[in-house]
Chains A and B, each alone.
Chain A
């Protein structure tokens, strides 16, 4: 996927340096933005050679559907992180979305789909208002809504003791379980959302503003961009996407499970960072995030293939991977900075 550059030059030196970038700097930038895709290709290649059960259509479908729910959450997270923020509430909101879908479906399929979107969007709105207009730290605001959304979930499930089932014949349930051209419908929805995400980030004023805000909030405000409104909308989007992902996951399992989503925010952040989006904001790609999600899920799948390895190694590998990726990123961006000063 094409890379996204900062649309507006905030630093007067930057336009000069970008024209006179050395080959090493360009390489560094390329690794930063495309590294995850290259590593993903390598891991897939090695896994395909090593394990007979890996390169099968069944397994690919499996990985695709398992990736889709996390990918939808990570898409919203990508935009939030590009703007220099963070959304820790998505795991709870995801769980809430699933429970709300299973709760709402008794009043009709459409209610089952809309209820999670509206409520989770409202939680995102609360995050957004507090961050954008209240000027509170995103980390702590979304930490609070992480707790609050989990509380709300418990409140509507009799303290977590009720798990509502979804009718398998219902079209909303089919949205999770159905397949089209061999791939699960959630996978198609994910692909569609990512396509929209790429366009929004690269081709719209909203996307460009998001990048500018992440680069420098003050500069973006001075340029007259609607910083607060834009920031607020990012959190609304993140909440809605997390709710949608939860609703789809609930439909996939035909039940609103209350204990899902714990730690999902961390997986999503990890995927975004592995995908080359800087946590400091101002730069990132939607495609990289997709590669990051797939990478996490492929690693998980490969560790399951190695029968002798305990499944606990999965998180060890994910954690180590995350550390290595950010270490390399940090090294590259410093090399980049040094280059810029020449």
Chain B
């Protein structure tokens, strides 16, 4: 993904602004549009439905943003969600806490596997995580014996249906995780090392940064967050369905990150943008559906928005800097 430096453009300023703030502007426009033209948009019920739908994608996208910040990508997140979902019902008999913990540990182990392949063995992130994407879902189905299991544990189901201060627990959880990851990127040594490694890996290594450890930690975080999303999705679905949970989530997560203004070339992580990206994509789908436009149109519009987002980012290497 090397970029040839293009001649500076006259409209570079506009473009840079669009690149950094376009996602927020788009949300404002969509909200305004919906307030005027969509019935029942500004109701609490609609708002919380939309936010609940965003939550699992957002949780996965947070980890993805970190990985993409290191100039990597984690394609395995959807399968890791399925693994976490498959593990839950196996251990719910011992109580909800051990089951959730085991699911998180499994997610962490998946991340550690990705991290090892990327950081130690030196495989390209796309292929390393592709292996787990392919193998992980199979593994999840083997764990679950190919079956869907209905969850009957009340405290786990409470995660899916519970509310706190008028908003669903899931939404609070996603918001808290987003805040946590934002703090991690902005205020910790780890966050700075991560961005530095994404910007220039060999220079970081020469500067004595613990490249392998940071990369490993990043993939582990992504795996654990994917497991959280898998647990959340299971709680919402009230069933563990390893063949369906997390399908194509890697694409939604990457889309949220890219639309949010984090460049695929690494060296920059925008957590707030990622949150906005996830919200924007959900709002677009919801708006189209509310206006009776079919799924097919929604997908084509999403495709166009992804291309537009990367097109705007392209100018970063050209005019911006």
A-B complex is real: yes
Q: Which residues of A contact B (CB under 8 A)?
A: 86, 130, 134-137, 139-141, 143-148, 150-155, 159, 217-218, 266-267, 269-270, 273, 279-280, 310, 312-320, 322-323, 326-327, 330-331, 334
A315 CA to B128 CA in the complex, in Å? 15
| B42 shortest CB reach to chain A, Å | 29
- What is the bound-complex CA distance between A330 and B123, given in angstroms? 6
CA distance A152 to B132 in the complex (A): 29
The 0/1 profile, CB within 8 Å of A marked 1, for residues 246-281 of chain B is 000001001100100000110000000000000000
- Contact yes or no, A139 B306, CB < 8 A: no
Question: Considering only CB atoms, which chain B residue lies closest to A322 in the complex?
Answer: B131
Nearest-neighbour CB distance to chain B for A89, whole angstroms, equals 10
**Contacts A135-B314, A159-B294 given: A148-B133 contact, CB under 8 Å?**
no
Pair A330/B121 contact, Cβ less than 8 Å? yes
B134 on the A face (CB < 8 A):
yes
B298: which A residues are within 8 A, CB to CB? 151
Chain B contacts of A150 at CB under 8 A? Answer: 299
Whether the pair B303, A310 counts as a contact (CB closer than 8 A) is no
Assuming the contacts A147-B300, A310-B142, A319-B134, asked whether A327 and B117 have C-beta atoms less than 8 A apart, the reply is: yes
Q: Is the Cβ of A139 less than 8 Å from the Cβ of B126? A: yes
Specify which of A273, A279, A280, A312 lies most central, judged by the most chain B CB atoms within 10 Å of its CB.
A312
Contact indicator B136/A319 (Cβ below 8 Å)? yes
Question: In the complex, how many angstroms separate the beta carbon of A258 from the nearest chain B beta carbon?
Answer: 11
Say if the beta carbon of B321 comes within 8 Å of chain A: no
Contact A140 B135 (CB under 8 A): no
Chain A nearest Cβ from B307, distance in angstroms: 5
Besides A130-B307, A313-B142, A330-B121, 17 new A-B residue pairs in contact (Cβ under 8 A), listed by A number: A134-B311, A137-B310, A144-B302, A145-B303, A146-B303, A151-B300, A154-B296, A218-B2, A273-B127, A279-B124, A279-B126, A279-B127, A312-B138, A314-B138, A315-B135, A323-B131, A330-B122
Residue of B with least CB distance to A158: B294
Residues in B neighbouring A143, C-beta threshold 8 A: 251, 254-255, 306
Say how far A77's CB is from chain B's closest CB, in angstroms.
13
Majority secondary structure of chain B interface residues (helix, strand, loop or mixed): helix
Point out the residue from A134, A147, A315 that lies within 8 Å of B306, measured CB to CB.
A147
Interface flag for B92 (CB, 8 Å): no
B:302-320 near A, CB below 8 Å? 302-304, 306-307, 310-311, 314
A322 to B113, CA, bound (A): 13
Contact B311 A155 (CB under 8 A): no
Which of B137, B295, B300 neighbours the largest number of chain A CB atoms within 10 Å of its CB? B300
List 10 contacting pairs A-B, 8 Å CB cutoff, sorted by A.
A134-B311, A136-B310, A141-B307, A144-B303, A151-B297, A266-B130, A315-B137, A317-B135, A318-B135, A323-B132
Q: Taking A136-B310, A318-B134, A320-B131 as contacts, is the C-beta distance between A327 and B294 under 8 angstroms?
A: no
Residues in A with CB closer than 8 Å to B101 are none
Query: Chain B contacts of A315 at CB under 8 A?
Result: 134-135, 137-138
Inter-chain residue pair count (beta carbon < 8 A): 146
A218 to B4, CA, bound (A): 9
Contact B121 A327 (CB under 8 A): yes
- In the A-B complex, the 7 residue pairs with the closest CB atoms: A319-B135, A315-B138, A151-B299, A148-B303, A154-B296, A312-B141, A151-B300
Contact mask B110-130 → A, CB, 8 Å, 1/0? 000000010001111011101
Interface residues of B (CB under 8 A from A): 1-4, 73, 117, 121-124, 126-128, 130-139, 141-142, 145-146, 251, 254-255, 258, 264-265, 294-300, 302-304, 306-307, 310-311, 314
Contact yes or no, B297 A280, CB < 8 A:
no
Least distance between A253 CB and chain B CB atoms (Å): 22
Among residues of B, the one whose C-beta sits closest to the C-beta of A217 is: B2
A326: contacting residue among B73, B123, B255, B265, CB under 8 A:
B123
Q: Is the CB of A155 within 8 A of B297?
A: yes
Q: Are A86 and B126 interface neighbours, CB within 8 A? A: yes
Q: Compute how far the CA of A217 lies from the CA of B1 in the bound complex, rounded to whole angstroms.
A: 10
Q: Is the CB of B306 within 8 A of A140?
A: yes
A159 to B298, CA, bound (A): 11
Contacts of A323 in B (CB 8 A): 117, 123, 128, 131-132, 135
CB distance from A109 to the nearest CB of B (A): 27
Q: Which residue of B lies closest to A329 (CB)?
A: B123
The answer to whether A322 and B127 touch across the interface, beta carbons within 8 angstroms, is yes
A140 to B257, CA, bound (A): 11
Q: What residues of chain B lie closer than 8 Å to A135, measured between beta carbons?
A: 3-4, 314
Complex contacts, A145 vs chain B, CB 8 Å: 303
**Residue ID in chain B nearest A333 by CB atoms:** B122
Distance in Å from the Cβ of B144 to the closest Cβ of chain A? Answer: 9
Closest to A156 in B: B296
Closest partner residue, chain B, to A327 (CB atom):
B121
A334 and B4 in contact (CB under 8 A), knowing A155-B297, A279-B127?
Answer: no
Contact flag A155-B296 (CB < 8 Å), given A143-B255, A144-B303, A319-B132: yes
Alpha-carbon gap, A128 to B282, bound state (A): 28
C-alpha spacing A279/B142, complex, angstroms: 30
Q: How far is the CB of B127 from chain A (nearest CB, A)?
A: 5
Whether A310 and B146, one on each chain, are in contact in the complex, defined by CB atoms closer than 8 angstroms, is yes
